[in-house]
Structure 1
């Protein structure tokens, strides 16, 4: 996605017109239009003002993805009570069917021993609670997956 499109989507998501953004930044409406059409780029000071105006970091503004932003907002607004009612395996299983079938094929007890030891180690060594240990281990696995995926491409 181009920066201009990101700026346009971020502005629309913020509910502001080009005129309103221009006024807040001290530039013309045409300048805002040119940024959004990728005809010109805002300088770093203007970019920082835009990120503050749109309540985004500069990185988020550069990589702004309306779909991702909307998903994030839904997650943020969803209570823990509702999240606990969701069968996440079933939901993700629609995209990744292996999640609904591996239990019949994999020796889960074998992997449980090693993973439990890793979780216990994280709790003891870093004084993490159950959920924090799980999330750290999940994140470590994600890093391994990304590295492995990068090597095979």
Structure 2
């Protein structure tokens, strides 16, 4: 996504009009419009003011993705009690059907035993509690997945 679209989406997400942003930055509404259309770019000082106004870091503003931002907000608002009520296999199974039916084909106990060993190892070696060890292992799996996908390209 280009910077102009990022600026537009961040402004909309903040609930501000072009006029309001222009007033706060001391520029014209047309300047804001040109930035959002990608005709011109804000300088670094103006970019910093925009990031402060939109409650984003400069990196977040440059890479602003409305979908990612909305997902992050849902994650931030979800507590353990709500999370425990969600059938995550069913929820993700809509996107990845394998999650709904792999248990009938895969002998999961063997894999579960190996994962238990890895979790215990993380707890003993690094002093992680059970949840932290699980999250670290999940993150390691995600890194391996991304690496394999990158190698396939």
The aligned residue for residue 51 of structure 2 is 51
Q: Find the residue that maps to 1:22 and give its secondary structure.
A: helix
Using the size of structure 1 for normalisation, the TM-score is 0.94
Q: How many residues align?
A: 153
The aligned residue for residue 109 of structure 2 is 109
Q: How far does residue 112 in structure 1 lie from its aligned partner after superposition? A: 1.4
Using the size of structure 2 for normalisation, the TM-score is 0.94
For 1:6-54, what per-residue CA distance to the aligned partner results, in whole angstroms no more than 9, with x for missing partners? 1011001101111211122222221111100000111222112111111
Q: How far does residue 75 in structure 1 lie from its aligned partner after superposition? A: 2.4
The aligned residue for residue 73 of structure 1 is 73
Unaligned runs of 5+ residues in structure 2 are none
Runs of 4 or more off by more than 4 Å in structure 1?
none
The aligned residue for residue 41 of structure 2 is 41
Q: Find the residue that maps to 2:128 and give its secondary structure.
A: coil
The aligned residue for residue 10 of structure 2 is 10
Cα distance in structure 2, aligned partners of 1:7 and 1:64: 8
For 1:51-83, what per-residue CA distance to the aligned partner results, in whole angstroms no more than 9, with x for missing partners? 111111222211212222222222222332111
Cα distance in structure 1, aligned partners of 2:80 and 2:117: 27
For 1:86-130, what per-residue CA distance to the aligned partner results, in whole angstroms no more than 9, with x for missing partners? 000011011111111111111211111211111111111111111
Unaligned runs of 5+ residues in structure 1 are none
Cα distance in structure 2, aligned partners of 1:75 and 1:34: 34
